[in-house]
Chain A
């Protein structure tokens, strides 16, 4: 019985005949209850075991040293910044101040400045930071092992990421966190490999993408389920034949059966097998997804009508029907590109940063509205940061940069990591006359902290993050960076059979 038949018959089938059926039936009930309770009953929400990670890829390499900016006078932060960034620097008076950001340094690398502002176009991010819901990771990037300074970088003894400064390599490594390999799986995919079975319905992947195929969500056994940001039940699945045709229903069935049969074959050619496998998986998911989308409530939160705003609005809607989808854990992936600003940097940031700020703020507000702000953690990644020096109105490819993490479970209002010294002649992390910084914090540490929160057991972290042992080992109460609030989260002791990965 294929998926389509199953759903067709499930309405009159006896309850409990299959696991999937009972799941669907009870989920319908749960969801029905939730859709009434979600604004009124706190207990129902608190009791719910649900968590989501939302990865926002700012593709192209965002100039994040014009997002988070030292603005102090006493510590020379702003003057060093302005001198080095030259025509790229943003006027001090226009920066949005962060309240007491408490940047403390990391791994004995100092955070060189005490006072910071953010780009004037990011009022939403300023507000989330100052209300403790947003944290910055300062100078984070791809690393195989810690590299403390330029001489360690140059002495040839430390492993350097493959293809540093190359878009295709670095955008991949940010998604795999395995910078010494070009064939690693994605972080979100490996997490889903471990935890997908915990979702009561596995027909829809734990990993849902608004950006089509991506490495981040690709695991050994898990592929992403791609959706469009036009979250509408009529947008899911195959269009039907014209309804004015007589017998169009019969013809739809004939057509669908034929398609199902063709993609249901086994093919000796692996490309055909890959195509048919993808098609089968997608077709099997449509009906469940379509049915779930019919239950999406209307949200009061207004999202900006931008591509990122629409993508994040779609994620909020999917989260709102998590019960119908049978999902206790979900990982979302969304891309917002256009950051490769070799030219026109000031204009480019003025156009794009408000989109980021507005969309992320609205998304956080929507999770508050849905009563699950503390169950959703959103973070930004990018290929790399950009050179601190200018190429004349633009900047080139660099390495460590600044990321944001947002959510009700984030210990926000702080800058974690170690912001590098902007005076390039006195900056131990700098490795180029153009101003390229060795990351102080590894992507492994960022992901490990979120993975522990999401429910990966400490033992299983080595499956998700093969290099993590170079940076961190778990002991109770000791977290990789310290930006997540683990109150109310019990560290998983449910070790999965997967073994550690090595590359």
Chain B
């Protein structure tokens, strides 16, 4: 029996379509008690729907049967729900698109798209255009003496996020930037190229292989500066002063980027020893050994190890490996007798043992192979699959994936079906199409489903959902308010531990349950009002972005600072049409998750806002207030803030 590709909504529709009588049993409390919810077949909801044949003519049917999940189209709520997990924020048009082509096809289309926007290129062009402008009055100005700030990165990032068609990649890359953390809270605070180039690595490799990604990151100057292995040197005894390799990257690459502190089963649970204690993955000797591996790397445009960065673009060039430290030749260039120069190994030679594996002794000239070996050892550690699975699921779908969900994703990480380990495309596909991600109600257990939307995503939900549009398709948005009020914009983590920890459990209902709520680490009495007051500014004060002048005397370009245009909604502000208004934004922003009760609270507030109507047309000032306060309230509702 094949089902036609239709959107099935509820019992009656099913009965009409299917030729013989079906008894359909529903479980799942929230579906039945919530009038706003609809029963959806297809990738929005596949479980808890039991199909039993009761037709006497179908004697060869053995009941019950369960509906298969593939081949159905989602309704708009289900489409919007996928987009809430797979994009930074969605538009009504994209929801219709997913509802039309189906979830699997949409995901495949997105995974197949090339990276369409290089932040570094946009930044460079922006930089050049600023130079060209200021050159008119000062011919001496060049790329090298027109200075930028980190805000130029933010503007470039926002431009890409608003215009790139590969929207799944942009969501995944944001997640990666919160796992493989570097940040402007660092030595490259003022260098937008350092931020852009690193973020481009994440965008470029969102759908490649983990092994590729971890190598690109290891060789990226921003990471090398951030975790201080730039110019990291072999153990050295110089004039009685002893120094040892820097241990920073060795520790964090294992703790945060690959395997974590404790040995894991494939389902992400911790292995236990005979005493029931978790088993550490490594000890300090492993760290000291791995630290020796990451020695000998310097700037891509350096002359010797120990050289300093030359300019903005030093941060865009892959690190260069130095087996030998010949810095003395450059630093003490006046020395005439070559024997007086101090030439030592830059890379540490000798056997290195860590994670129970050994990197063989080899000549210092071949030392770079140590790095390859070390990354292979890390990559092949059995923890990486469950470790990355849990982190990526947490970034996209839910704070508390079941062990079975983690295991399904980790299994694909370990082998994509074609014998390839670390295939991120397969991993992302598996996460987004997994029953636990697609089933709206986590097998009926809604108690711990979903995640708190991190503050920055709420901002992106707003600008995407309300269709912020620029006439020239150029946005000049430094996103300052999002950072200042909520403490989060990309590449601004306070430390390598991200804005929040994957293992954070907040006060309140989750305490003592063994469950996590990472994003709650950002939530306190300050940021709670900070967010709502930012909403107040963005929506009610009609100031959705923060324009940034590029140079003194520049003409203001209002088209680069667009406002929301919600006049199309004004017809919906009449009391008799408020339901339509709320349903619309409930769909776009919250994939229809607001409860009827909460919608009623909002409706009560909005219908109390004075509205004068002339010839059936609402006054535009009144309508402005009604629409915007309605969206403010939807975005203040726990049903919106928890994405489940």
Query: Which residues of A are interface residues toward B (Cβ below 8 A)?
Result: 59-60, 83, 86-87, 162-169, 182-183, 209, 212-213, 218, 223-228, 236-239, 241-242, 245-247, 250-251, 254-255, 257-259, 261-263, 265, 267-279, 281-282, 285-286, 337, 340, 342-344, 387, 389-392, 394, 396-397, 432-434, 436
A281 CA to B529 CA, complexed, in Å: 12
CB <8 Å contact, A391 and B245: yes
Question: Which of B241, B255, B536, B541 interacts with A390 by CB under 8 Å?
Answer: B241
The reply on B524 being an interface residue by CB < 8 A is yes
Q: Which residue of B lies closest to A434 (CB)?
A: B244
Instruction: Say whether, besides A237-B529, A278-B523, A343 and B642 are in contact (CB < 8 Å).
Output: no
CB <8 Å contact, A87 and B284: no
The reply on B637 being an interface residue by CB < 8 A is yes
Q: Can you pick out 29 interface pairs between chain A and chain B where the beta carbons lie within 8 Å of each other?
A: A166-B251, A167-B497, A168-B497, A209-B524, A212-B522, A224-B524, A227-B525, A238-B536, A246-B610, A247-B609, A251-B625, A254-B604, A254-B608, A254-B609, A263-B638, A268-B447, A269-B644, A270-B448, A271-B452, A271-B517, A272-B641, A274-B508, A274-B510, A276-B638, A278-B506, A278-B507, A282-B529, A396-B247, A397-B247
CB <8 Å contact, A275 and B447: no
Q: Please give 6 more A-B residue pairs, beta carbons under 8 A apart, in addition to A274-B506, A278-B524, A434-B288.
A: A258-B601, A275-B520, A343-B246, A394-B228, A396-B248, A433-B244
Contacts of B242 in A (CB 8 A): 86, 389-390
The reply on B461 being an interface residue by CB < 8 A is no
Question: Which of A163, A241, A275, A344 interacts with B452 by CB under 8 Å?
Answer: A275
Question: Which of A182, A245, A271, A340 interacts with B510 by CB under 8 Å?
Answer: A271
Q: What distance in Å separates the Cβ of A357 from its nearest Cβ neighbour in chain B?
A: 22
Q: Which residue of A lies closest to B526 (CB)?
A: A226
CB <8 Å contact, B605 and A274: no
Contacts of A223 in B (CB 8 A): 507-508
Q: What distance in Å separates the Cβ of A176 from its nearest Cβ neighbour in chain B?
A: 13
Q: Which of B4-12, B138-146, B564-572, B628-636 contacts A (4 or more CB under 8 A)?
A: B628-636
Question: Which of B399, B505, B536, B644 interacts with A239 by CB under 8 Å?
Answer: B536
The reply on B602 being an interface residue by CB < 8 A is yes
Question: How many residues belonging to B are interface residues under a CB distance threshold of 8 Å?
Answer: 90
Q: What distance in Å separates the Cβ of B472 from its nearest Cβ neighbour in chain A?
A: 29
The reply on B509 being an interface residue by CB < 8 A is yes
Contacts of A86 in B (CB 8 A): 241-243
Q: What distance in Å separates the Cβ of A255 from its nearest Cβ neighbour in chain B?
A: 6
The reply on B2 being an interface residue by CB < 8 A is no
Interface centre among A169, A263, A274, A432 (most CB of B within 10 A): A274
Q: What distance in Å separates the Cβ of A251 from its nearest Cβ neighbour in chain B?
A: 6
Binary per-residue interface labels of chain B (339-371) against chain A in the complex, 1 for a CB within 8 Å, 0 otherwise: 000000000000000000000000000000000
The reply on B494 being an interface residue by CB < 8 A is yes
The reply on B563 being an interface residue by CB < 8 A is no
A126 CA to B638 CA, complexed, in Å: 51
A342 CA to B247 CA, complexed, in Å: 8
Question: Which of B508, B525, B527, B633 interacts with A255 by CB under 8 Å?
Answer: B633
Q: What distance in Å separates the Cβ of A48 from its nearest Cβ neighbour in chain B?
A: 27
Secondary structure type dominating chain A contacts: loop
CB <8 Å contact, B261 and A163: yes
CB <8 Å contact, B248 and A342: yes
Question: Which of B232, B494, B604 interacts with A258 by CB under 8 Å?
Answer: B604
CB <8 Å contact, A218 and B507: yes
CB <8 Å contact, B449 and A269: yes
CB <8 Å contact, A271 and B636: no
A16 CA to B25 CA, complexed, in Å: 58
Contacts of B241 in A (CB 8 A): 86-87, 390
* B219-259 interface with A by 8 A CB criterion: 227-228, 230-233, 236, 240-248, 251, 255
CB <8 Å contact, B598 and A269: no
Question: Which of B244, B287, B520, B529 interacts with A213 by CB under 8 Å?
Answer: B520
Instruction: Say whether, besides A86-B242, A392-B233, A434-B288, A275 and B632 are in contact (CB < 8 Å).
Output: no
Q: Which residue of B lies closest to A436 (CB)?
A: B284
The reply on B528 being an interface residue by CB < 8 A is yes
Interface centre among B236, B450, B508, B595 (most CB of A within 10 A): B508
The reply on B521 being an interface residue by CB < 8 A is yes
Contacts of B503 in A (CB 8 A): 182
Instruction: Say whether, besides A224-B524, A254-B605, A262-B598, A269 and B447 are in contact (CB < 8 Å).
Output: yes
The reply on B310 being an interface residue by CB < 8 A is no
Instruction: Say whether, besides A238-B529, A271-B642, A272-B639, A392 and B601 are in contact (CB < 8 Å).
Output: no
The reply on B392 being an interface residue by CB < 8 A is no
CB <8 Å contact, B526 and A212: yes
Q: Which residue of A lies closest to B503 (CB)?
A: A182
Q: What distance in Å separates the Cβ of A248 from its nearest Cβ neighbour in chain B?
A: 9
| Shortest beta-carbon contacts, A-B, top 5 | A226-B524, A282-B525, A342-B228, A258-B605, A273-B509
Interface centre among A168, A246, A270 (most CB of B within 10 A): A270
Contacts of A163 in B (CB 8 A): 261, 280
Contacts of B332 in A (CB 8 A): none
The reply on B495 being an interface residue by CB < 8 A is yes
The reply on B515 being an interface residue by CB < 8 A is yes
CB <8 Å contact, B446 and A275: no
Q: What distance in Å separates the Cβ of A124 from its nearest Cβ neighbour in chain B?
A: 26
Instruction: Say whether, besides A218-B507, A262-B638, A343-B246, A225 and B598 are in contact (CB < 8 Å).
Output: no
Contacts of A87 in B (CB 8 A): 241, 243
Contacts of A250 in B (CB 8 A): 608-610
Contacts of B522 in A (CB 8 A): 212-213
Contacts of B248 in A (CB 8 A): 340, 342, 396
Interface centre among B30, B280, B629 (most CB of A within 10 A): B629
CB <8 Å contact, B446 and A269: yes
Question: Which of A166, A247, A285, A394 interacts with B246 by CB under 8 Å?
Answer: A394
* B285-339 interface with A by 8 A CB criterion: 287-288, 291
CB <8 Å contact, A271 and B448: yes
Q: Which residue of B lies closest to A211 (CB)?
A: B524
Contacts of B51 in A (CB 8 A): none
A292 CA to B291 CA, complexed, in Å: 53
Q: What distance in Å separates the Cβ of B296 from its nearest Cβ neighbour in chain A?
A: 13
Q: Which residue of A lies closest to B535 (CB)?
A: A239
Contacts of B533 in A (CB 8 A): 238-239
A93 CA to B610 CA, complexed, in Å: 75
Question: Which of B246, B504, B520 interacts with A342 by CB under 8 Å?
Answer: B246
Contacts of B637 in A (CB 8 A): 262
Contacts of A270 in B (CB 8 A): 447-448, 509-510, 513, 515
Instruction: Say whether, besides A59-B495, A269-B447, A247 and B601 are in contact (CB < 8 Å).
Output: no
Binary per-residue interface labels of chain B (270-286) against chain A in the complex, 1 for a CB within 8 Å, 0 otherwise: 00000000101000100
Contacts of B54 in A (CB 8 A): none
Contacts of A227 in B (CB 8 A): 525-526
The reply on B501 being an interface residue by CB < 8 A is yes
CB <8 Å contact, B524 and A277: no
The reply on B532 being an interface residue by CB < 8 A is yes
The reply on B162 being an interface residue by CB < 8 A is no
The reply on B22 being an interface residue by CB < 8 A is no
Contacts of A169 in B (CB 8 A): 261
Q: Which residue of B lies closest to A256 (CB)?
A: B605
A227 CA to B399 CA, complexed, in Å: 27
Contacts of A228 in B (CB 8 A): 526
Q: Which residue of A lies closest to B537 (CB)?
A: A239
A250 CA to B611 CA, complexed, in Å: 13
CB <8 Å contact, B520 and A390: no
Q: What distance in Å separates the Cβ of A353 from its nearest Cβ neighbour in chain B?
A: 19
A242 CA to B506 CA, complexed, in Å: 34
CB <8 Å contact, B638 and A389: no
A282 CA to B530 CA, complexed, in Å: 12
Contacts of B507 in A (CB 8 A): 218, 223, 274, 277-278
A60 CA to B517 CA, complexed, in Å: 23
Q: What distance in Å separates the Cβ of B299 from its nearest Cβ neighbour in chain A?
A: 14
Contacts of B504 in A (CB 8 A): 213
Binary per-residue interface labels of chain B (522-559) against chain A in the complex, 1 for a CB within 8 Å, 0 otherwise: 11111111001100110011000000000000000000
A65 CA to B536 CA, complexed, in Å: 48
